[in-house]
Amino acid sequence: MIRNLAIIAHVDHGKTTLVDQMLRQAGAFRANQQVEERVMDSNPLERERGITILAKNTAVRWGGTKINIVDTPGHADFGGEVERILRMVDGVLILVDAAEGPMPQTRFVTRKALALGLRAIVAINKIDRSDAEPLRVHDEVLGLFIDLDATHEQLDAPFLYTSSRAGTATAELEQPGTDLKPLFQAILDHVPSPKGDPDGPFQMLVSTLDFSSFLGRIAIGRIERGRVKVGDQVALLPLGEPGLVEGEEFERNKVTRLYTFDGLNRVEVDEAEAGDIVALSGFETIEIGRTFTAVEHPERLAGIAVEEPTISVDVIVNNSPFAGREGKYVTSRQLKDRLYRELERNVALRVEETDSPDTHTVSGRGELHLGILMETMRREGYEFQVSRPRVITKLGDDGERQEPYEELTVDVPEEYMGVVMEKLGPRRSEMIEMRNPGQGMVRLTFRIPSRGLFGYRSEFLTDTRGTGIMHHRYMDYGPWAGPLAGRKRGVLVADREGSVVAFALGNLQERAQMFVSPGDLVYEGMIAGESSRPGDLDVNVTKEKKLTNMRTTASDENVILEPPRQITLEYALEYIEEDELIEITPKTIRLRKRVLTANDRKKAARAARVADAS
């Protein structure tokens, strides 16, 4: 007996924490086994950032039933992956934070799950939060279901009140939960067991991919029908219309390895049958959306569309004066190979060549999607430069230019509502909803061009003194919104190479926020800080104090420096302008002007003015 369940939610609503507790309470760990928190977030970047990046399979046993569980990422950039995963389950557990309520990503994944006809269980989670309002959130989720045209059957979904952290669930708020039994019971009662005749001809859809250097591409999916054994000859059909494939060539090959899931492990098995979720290897050309079948019955399943990228950056060989000092892999050949290798499993990514062998255009679903790739590469020892992100435009039905739009949700204390609206207006946003439950926090929802969001997060955090929360997710393509103002403030550009000196920073910091500290190495054209006014300034950050015999006061001996602004990768992606680049190495993230010498920049600016005037 099998149940296949995906856990879906907005980012941070407690999916991975719940899986921990399900594993624990179902006895997946030995009594004295040391297990880290959020054990499914197993890769280093996931641990460091506290978010799930890749969906992962696990399985527990409850009574005599095997429950396959897929933990999914909640961040909007990975929504496409969640959508694909839904094809291998028969039900979903929708988690909704008892204070935040349904968020844009909750809406997105719920819509996809309901549209596939999946049965849902709803967990109003984090009821232990002091600001939890489980009853209000319960109503909001029902409202969402109705909005999304849930069927009667789907509207009948069981609602549980849970705390992932405490590992409790209850159907009645008056009776506090003591464990997750009510959740396991709801899964057995409400998630249908997979259909699929185990005695029919083998059929399985590739819903997600994995990759190992030893086995190559690995397909993960639910067996729709029949059985498969290691050593079987099976067909891997090309993409196309569902139904029996006639007169079309298809690949056949042997299944070399087969795995099922059990707790934290993949278990090698000889055979698996309809209903179970398996990982299968033996084919070089495994792709999402292709169907495996018995050779004598090549019946294709409906494929899975992979989401189109919405933003691009150029990845460029490092040509800064410090190139090659900190990275292991720096050549265009090495970069190219690495980028193309990423396509093996990062299916929503695109890599294109450009006129220059030193530059590749890399496109993805958002800044986090691209940022994670860059962070991973830098940890592997790569060194490269990245341009400012651009949105990918499209032509609409009437040939007009279109750009991506996002839904932006902002939660702020009432007093900051004004400043948020004031800043978002010129970014071409349009308010679609405002909710003020009367407890001091308001929720504003906007439609805004993706371009309008570039650089906004840091402003937002400053404007709301760190009290605001913002989330955005891709909505659709809409009319090109016209020119948008760029960064308001200019930058300080180092005018020579050298080592940064405290004395120089002391003089500059009144009119600037520095990005560098004493002792850092800079080169001409590198960005050392942000000016408090518009317009860039060339500065000497290596300037020493003139030595004199006479000491004036003791105070100019030690300058007291403000701490520099920490430049993270995602911050840099949002921050830079078109004439700037991010230099990324295993050790450092530097911002620079594309044109390094002050003279050449002046010439370029003059040429641009002339071009504008004519």
Ligand X SMILES: Nc1nc2c(ncn2[C@@H]2O[C@H](COP(=O)(O)OP(=O)(O)OP(=O)(O)O)[C@@H](O)[C@H]2O)c(=O)[nH]1
125 binds Mg ion (CB under 5 A): no
Q: Which residue, 42 or 354, has its beta carbon nearer to Mg ion?
A: 42
Q: Cβ 71 to Mg ion, closest distance in Å?
A: 6
Instruction: Give the C-alpha separation, 513 to 450, whole Å.
Output: 27
Instruction: Give the C-alpha separation, 583 to 523, whole Å.
Output: 12
Q: Cβ 45 to ligand X, closest distance in Å?
A: 12
Select the binding partner of residue 11 from ligand X, Mg ion, none (C-beta < 5 to 8 A, by kind). ligand X
Burial bucket for residue 527 (CB in 10 Å: 0-12, 13-18, 19+): buried
72 binds Mg ion (CB under 5 A): no
Q: Cβ 53 to ligand X, closest distance in Å?
A: 8
3-state helix, strand, coil in the chain (%, to 5): 25, 30, 45
Q: Cβ 422 to ligand X, closest distance in Å?
A: 31
Q: Which of 10, 15, 266, 360 binds Mg ion (CB under 5 A)?
A: 15
Lookup: tokens for 78? 């990975």
Instruction: Give the C-alpha separation, 473 to 73, whole Å.
Output: 14
Select the binding partner of residue 388 from Mg ion, ligand X, none (C-beta < 5 to 8 A, by kind). none
542 binds Mg ion (CB under 5 A): no
The residue with tokens 């059929």 is: 203
Q: Which of 16, 58, 310, 402 binds Mg ion (CB under 5 A)?
A: 16
Q: Cβ 513 to ligand X, closest distance in Å?
A: 30
Q: How far is CA 224 from CA 107, 200, 274, 412, in A?
A: 28, 10, 5, 47
Instruction: Give the C-alpha separation, 29 to 567, whole Å.
Output: 40
The residue with tokens 């050309």 is: 285
Tell me how many degrees the CA angle 534-537-540 measures, rounded to the nearest 5. Answer: 150
Choose the binding region for Mg ion from 11-19, 245-253, 433-441, 488-496 (rule: CB under 5 A): 11-19
Please check whether residue 458 is in contact with residue 489, taking contact to mean a CB–CB distance below 8 angstroms.
no
Q: Cβ 37 to ligand X, closest distance in Å?
A: 7
52 binds Mg ion (CB under 5 A): yes
Choose the binding region for Mg ion from 51-59, 219-227, 495-503, 519-527 (rule: CB under 5 A): 51-59
Choose the binding region for Mg ion from 45-53, 200-208, 307-315, 583-591 (rule: CB under 5 A): 45-53
Q: Cβ 140 to ligand X, closest distance in Å?
A: 18
Q: Cβ 128 to ligand X, closest distance in Å?
A: 5
Chain mean position to CA 313: 16
Residue nearest to ligand X (CB): 74
25 binds Mg ion (CB under 5 A): no
Select the binding partner of residue 129 from ligand X, Mg ion, none (C-beta < 5 to 8 A, by kind). ligand X
Q: Which residue, 16 or 105, has its beta carbon nearer to Mg ion?
A: 16
Residues in contact with ligand X by CB under 6 A are 9, 11-17, 38, 50-52, 73-75, 125-126, 128-129, 163-165
DSSP 151-202: -HHHHT--EEEEETTTTEEES-TTS---SSHHHHHHHHHHSPPP---TTS--
Instruction: Give the C-alpha separation, 53 to 73, whole Å.
Output: 5
- As beta bridge partners, residue 218 has 210, 281
Q: Which residue, 40 or 278, has its beta carbon nearer to Mg ion?
A: 40
- Judged by the rule CB under 5 A, the positions of this chain that interact with Mg ion are 15-16, 52
